[in-house]
Amino acid sequence: MSDVIDDAAIEHEAHIKAALSVRQPTLTFTGKCHYCKAPVSTNQHFCDADCRHDYERLKANGRV
């Protein structure tokens, strides 16, 4: 017999699996900002938080 905590854990796991199933692929490292094309250092995709925010906003609107 399961209790409330077991039920919550099962529901939490289902939410995690659902979120991971629709996860977007990560950006590939190009050496340039994905928004403004400025050079970036190793393992970065954007030159600053403003470019990241603008890119995510465009992507959410279907423009990227």
> What digits encode the pLDDT tens for the residues 31-63?
999 999 999 988 899 999 999 999 999 988 888
Q: Is 26 a residue whose pLDDT tops 90?
A: no
For residue 8, is pLDDT > 70?
Answer: yes
The confidence score (pLDDT) of residue 43 equals 84
Q: Give the CA count within 13 Å in the CB-facing half-sphere of 59.
A: 12
> What's the pTM?
0.58
